[in-house]
Every structure is written in structure tokens, then in C-alpha cells.
Amino acid sequence: MSRFAATRSAVFLTWQAAPHLAIGRVLVMVVQGVAPLAAAWCTKYTLDRLTGPDPSVGLIAPPVLLLALSALLVGVLAPVDNYLGNEHGRRAELVARRRLFDAVARLQGLRRFEDPEFLNRLRVADSPGSSAPCQILSQLLSVGRALVVIGGFVTSMLTLSPLLTAVVVLAAVPAVLAQLAMSRRRAALLWNTSPLERREVFYSSLLTQIQAAKEIRLFGLAGFFGDRMLAERRSADVLRRGVDRRDFATQTGLALLTALVSGAGLVWAAFTAVGGSLTAGDLTMVVAAVAALQTGIGGAVAAVAELNHDLLVFEHFRDVERTEPDLLEPAVPSALPVLRRGIEFRDVWFRYGEDLPWVLAGVDLTIPAGSAVGLVGHNGAGKSTLVKLLCRLYDPTRGAILWDGVDLRDVPVAELRLRIGAVFQDFMCYDLTAAENIGLGDLSAITDLDRIEAAGRNAGVDATVRALGKGYRTLLSRNFADEADEADETPGTGVFLSGGQWQKLATARAMLREDRDLMILDEPSSGLDADAEHDLHHRLRGLRRGRTSVLISHRLGALRDADLIITLSGGRVIEQGSHQALLARSGVYAGLFRKQASGYQLEELAQ
């Protein structure tokens, strides 16, 4: 993307955020640029009148009053500019973050979030990138203000010494080149340190969050992860230190050049004034002009350099915004029918990357509508991957998945997912209230306490939630304090559930969608005790009777009542049938079941 296009995009975003603030900042910039020039000319005229042959109050008063007005404007506009900039920055960053996360939400699959380069780009786009648009406008205004100052004082200097004017202006050329080089180094540094900072944040989160606290303390890992965290910081600091040293050398050279030019100009002006070629007012104008030009040129150069840096950062923001979806929406979408026949996997192949092995290798199976289907297999057999394809979190590499004959790729992703309820093996524990944790399963019910409580009862977690301090309003978190409400004005500490209780809550979240065409239950009872597991599966069988369900469980006793059990191995279907039929076949499923049954001394062992 060209720098002009990036600049235009950033300025438009800031205008969209708050046009009145943008106009106010431009007006302030113009006045701030003109005020120093007006003050310099007023000072010149005042001194020329005072040192002239006939000084009088009438001659001195107008420039003195204008000088006072200029000083007043300079003093007042500084805090005004600061306030407008801060407020504009806040509003623009809100718009930018909304646009950024709308773009992220458009990525309907998971593949982008498994790409480290995209995650690095997203990190840069989220933090410095979101604030870059207003920074770009600020730098443009700084350049504009500096150009007003430079233009005014160059015109003034030309009337006094064209040669000195040319020297001062030409001395800015190496400064411009040096500042641009420094800005490129800073932008490259930001990109190069991004993966290091992400890993540092990862280790820091391990050391400071509750999820890893038990293992870190039991296994004595604090020092290990602390050392790794600091190692990432040191690696990033090495890169920063190298850039800082190069910038130090560059800035020192520029400072010496500026001092040399300024000193030479002041010496020339002093000797010229002694010779009578310059008046006292002219001398003050030369002094003010040289200082203003040096400051203005330096400010313009620094602003251009920062502008270049901010544009490089903003390009990451724009790249994320323009990232192509990993799941393509159909050009002519097909309607998704009510599931009446079933879901067919037709020669489905899938792998997570071109250089990775096949996870599914020619899967052919049918999930009959209205049936409870169990998926069985060793770890890595492809069960959870099959579920992800059902939810269209990925598309098959080859083959097709048909819903009553309609290819899932021909249906809008959002429409498909509205027809599915799911409990994932790696379910989320949100730092929200119990009601919100359940209500997230169907946002239309997020405030419908009756539906939420019904889902809690269906999942067997209602009694647990009601026993909490505030029932369904209890905050389930150790990271945040429970905020005050109308019933209890004293904030308290949130509570945290056990693993099995969280799993029930995640199941309740899925139960909000119990009437959907397809329910997917990926290890829904892995964290439950035997009684809770039996109770949950009894509830699920009753709730889903006559509806299509897919259940994954390593506890094969939970699958005995499934209408169809499918065994996967090496990414292929190797057997399928009812529980009794598969036992009679004495294949993989029978071997797995009997191994588990022998531990529980079930009736099948005697048979």
C-alpha cells in the first residue's frame, strides 16, 4: 500500500471519529504557526521604534500590544491543542479498534490464528497500530505548523540575508535523510521485537495467572519461567540497544551541525550589526529567524520521521483489515434445509498445513438425522478434527461434507453455526457471571434468566450455581473483583468453580441450543465423577431423543446407547455399527471397550 493511500486512510478514519475536533486542531495549528512570526516582527518594529530618532508611545504601543496578544495566544493554545489531541486520539482509537476487531471477527475459521506471522502482525496492529491514525494526523499537523513557521521566517530572512537563509535551509537536508533512516529502523525494530514480546507476555502470564499457579508451585517452575521471560526481554533489549546507539550517534551529529549553523549565523548578524548594515530590530529578527528556522526545520524533520514510522505501523493495521478470509463465503448461497436425511462425509481429506501429515484421509461416513452417533478412536485419530469440520472452523482439503445433500461450503458460515450447538473439549471459562457464562451460548438469551436457569437445570449445574453467593449473578473469576450492584453495594471477590463444575456450565451453554438441528458433545464428561457423568448422559439422552447428536468420549460406557458408533483410526473409518454389533465383531472398538470394562468388572467381562 502506498504511503499516500495509507495517509489518506488514516486521516479519513480520524475525520470519521470526530470531524469537529479535526477542524479545531487544524485551526489551532495555523494560529500556532503564525504566532511566532507575528511576535518576531512585533519585536523588530518595537526595537526599531525605540532606537529610532523619535520614539513615542503612539509608535510603540501597536506592536507591543500585538506582541502581548501573540504571547497570550501561544500560551493559551498549548493546553487547548493538548486537550483536543487527547480527546481526538481517544475517539479515533475507539473507531480503529472497532474496525480492527470487526476485521478479525470476519475471519470465521481458525487457520489465521495458527499462523505466527499473522499473530505478530495482529499484535502490532492492535496496540501501536490502533493509535497510529491519530498519531499520523498529529504528525501531519506538526509538519503543517512547521511549514508555516519555516515559510514565514524564510521570507523574512530573505530580505535580510539570502545567503544565510540558503545555508540554514540546506543544513536541514542531512537531518531529513537521517531522521527518515531512524524512523525506518524504529519500525523494523517494532516488527523484529514483536515475537520476543509475545513470548515474554506468555511467560509473564504463566507466572501471574491462576490457571498455571498450581503446577508452577508444585513443580518449582517460577524460576524456570522467570528466566525465560527475562531472556526474551534481554533479547529484545539487545535489538533496542543497537538501534538506540545508532540513533544516538546520528542525533549527536545533527545537534553539532545545528549548533554550528546557528552559531555562524549569530556571529555574522552581530558583526553586520556593528558595521551598521543591520538595525537593532533586524538583529533580533535574524536571531529569532535562525532559532525559529532551526526549530521549525528540526520539528518538521522529526515529524516527517515519526510520520514515516507511524505509516509503517499503520500498514500492519491495514494488512489485518484486508486479510482475506480463510473460509470463503459462497457467491450464490444455498439455503440450509432442516436436517431430515443426515450429514454425509464424502471422501474427506484434511491436514492442518501443506507440510503436515493427513489427519483425515478419505473419510466416508453418514450421520443419520435424528440419531445419536458416537465417535471412538485413539488420541490423534481425527475425532476432534472431524467435529471442527462439521462446525466449518476449517474446510476439507479434499472431498465434501453434505447436509441433506447441500455442501457446507455453499451455505453462509453464520447460518450453519446457528443450527449447531456444541460443547468443545477445550471449553472456555469466561471471567463473567454464571448467567453470562451460560447465556453466551445464545446471545438472544443473554438476559433471559428463565432460559438460562432451564439450561442450568438440564446440564445439572443449577443447584451448584444457586449455592453461590449471588446465584446466577455471581462473578466466576479470580482475576476481577465482583462489582457492586443494587442489592449489595460492597464489591467482593469473584469465585471460581472446579473443573467438573465448569464443564457442566459449558454444557449448559450448549443446552441453550438444545433445539438446534445438530448437537456436538466433545468429551462433555471428561472432568466429571462417575455419578455426575451418569446423570449428565441420562439428561442428554432425554433432551436429545429424536435429534441429531455427535458424541465423542474416551469413556466408552457413555456411548453404549448411541444409535451408531463409528471408530476412527489413522484418519479413516475402520468400523461402524451399534454397540452390540461392534462387540460381536471383536474389532478395535470391542478391544477398547473390554479393556475399560475389565477395570470396572462389568458384565461384558463375564460374557
Domain boundary among 474, 501, 528: 501
Residue 507 lies inside a defined structural domain of this protein: no
Residue 481: HSE in the Cβ half-sphere, 13 Å Cα cutoff: 7
Residue 340 lies inside a defined structural domain of this protein: yes
Q: How confident is the model at residue 272 (pLDDT cuts 50, 70, 90)?
A: confident
Instruction: Tell me if 266 sits within 8 A of 287, measured CB to CB.
Output: yes
| 479-518 confidence digits (pLDDT tens) | 777 765 545 555 556 788 888 888 899 999 988 988 889 9
* 192 shares a domain with 254: yes
* 496 shares a domain with 368: no
Select from 86, 2, 103 the least CA-distant residue to 317.
103
Domain boundary among 501, 533, 551: 501
Reply yes or no on whether the pLDDT at 346 is more than 60. Answer: yes
* 569 shares a domain with 434: no
Residue 508 lies inside a defined structural domain of this protein: no
Query: 349 or 265, which is more confident?
Result: 349
CATH number of the domain residue 398 falls in: 3.40.50.300
Distances (CA, A) of 88 to 14, 95, 99: 8, 11, 17
| 208-258 confidence digits (pLDDT tens) | 776 777 667 767 888 888 898 899 999 999 999 999 898 888 888 877 877
Domain boundary among 455, 473, 501: 501
Instruction: List beta partners, residue 421.
Output: 519
Reply yes or no on whether the pLDDT at 606 is more than 50. Answer: no
Query: Which pLDDT value is given to residue 58?
Result: 65
* 476 shares a domain with 348: no
CA atoms 449, 452, 457, 460: torsion sign: negative
| 528-564 confidence digits (pLDDT tens) | 777 777 777 777 777 767 789 999 988 887 788 889 9
Give the whole-angstrom CA distance, residue 416 versus residue 337. 10
Select from 350, 250, 373 the least CA-distant residue to 305.
250
Q: Write the DSSP assignment of 82-100 as a string of letters.
A: HHHHHHHHHHHHHHHHHHH
Instruction: Tell me if 571 sits within 8 A of 361, measured CB to CB.
Output: yes
Q: Write the DSSP assignment of 457-473 as a string of letters.
A: HHTT-HHHHHTSTTGGG
Question: Helices then strands (H, E): number in the chain?
Answer: 20, 12
Distances (CA, A) of 52 to 270, 277, 280, 287: 19, 15, 10, 20
* 127 shares a domain with 44: yes
Select from 77, 73, 92 the least CA-distant residue to 25.
77
Residue 545 lies inside a defined structural domain of this protein: yes
CA atoms 459, 462, 467, 470: torsion sign: positive
| 182-192 confidence digits (pLDDT tens) | 878 887 888 88
Residue 509 lies inside a defined structural domain of this protein: no
**Ranges 11-20, 330-339, 444-453, 519-528: which has the least confidence:** 519-528
* 483 shares a domain with 439: yes
Residue 327 lies inside a defined structural domain of this protein: no
Reply yes or no on whether the pLDDT at 283 is more than 50. Answer: yes
CATH number of the domain residue 246 falls in: 1.20.1560.10
Give the whole-angstrom CA distance, residue 78 versus residue 57. 31
Distances (CA, A) of 425 to 183, 388, 586: 46, 11, 28
Instruction: Tell me if 474 sits within 8 A of 433, measured CB to CB.
Output: yes
* 240 shares a domain with 160: yes
Identity at 480, one-letter amino acid code: F
Output the pTM of the full model. Answer: 0.75
* 311 shares a domain with 201: yes
* 83 shares a domain with 203: yes
Count of domains in the chain?
3
Angle between helices 222-274 and 280-321 (to 10 degrees): 150
Query: Which pLDDT value is given to residue 198?
Result: 84
Which residue range forms the structural domain that includes residue 58? Answer: 3-321
* 149 shares a domain with 214: yes
**Ranges 43-47, 244-248, 389-393, 442-446: which has the least confidence:** 43-47
Give the whole-angstrom CA distance, residue 355 versus residue 375. 27
Q: What is the mean pLDDT of residues 410-439?
A: 90
Q: What is the mean pLDDT of residues 306-324?
A: 87
Q: What is the mean pLDDT of residues 272-279?
A: 69
H helix or E strand, kind and range, residue 364: strand 360-368
Which residues, in sequence order, are CB contacts of 2 under 8 Å at separation 6+?
none
Give the whole-angstrom CA distance, residue 1 versus residue 140. 19
Computed over every residue of the chain, the mean pLDDT equals 84
| 127-178 confidence digits (pLDDT tens) | 777 888 999 999 999 888 888 888 887 887 777 777 777 777 777 778 778 8
Give the whole-angstrom CA distance, residue 394 versus residue 111. 7
Query: Which pLDDT value is given to residue 52?
Result: 66
* 443 shares a domain with 367: no
Identity at 376, one-letter amino acid code: V
* 485 shares a domain with 391: no
- Tell me which DSSP letter residue 475 carries: B
